[in-house]
Structure 1
């Protein structure tokens, strides 16, 4: 099932399939937020934004606005 990074639930893992290169900051790309890499949602801020993810063994907080620009495919039974 394809969706965006913003739709992940805490503890869920997915594989990045595509991203909007113009909307995703270069720093995220340098940290490994690239197609083919696995991403896991670690935590969500109390108001829902930002979200805290693990991608390429890096822990990163990103805004929901940015997460909506990253397409992912859920890894079955990753909760």
Structure 2
């Protein structure tokens, strides 16, 4: 995990490149980011099912609550 100053610098560097990119490149980057997010969601779902099937973690948890928690964690990572 990157430190906050490292993240800030990386984001600044990415923004410079994004502002110089062609529209078609921006479209490709956006599509790639969406694909990555979908893959992360699939991984989260797999991990959830694994944990759910574990006898020690067999308590009932609403999927909406899990999605909220995942979204909150992502916001923390991005912020």
TM-score bracket relative to the smaller structure: under 0.3
In proportion to residue count, which structure has more strand? 1
TM-score, normalised by the number of residues in structure 2: 0.22
Q: Which has the higher contact order (CA 8 A, sep 6+)?
A: 1
Greater Cα radius of gyration, structure 1 or 2? 2
In proportion to residue count, which structure has more helix? 2
TM-score, normalised by the number of residues in structure 1: 0.22
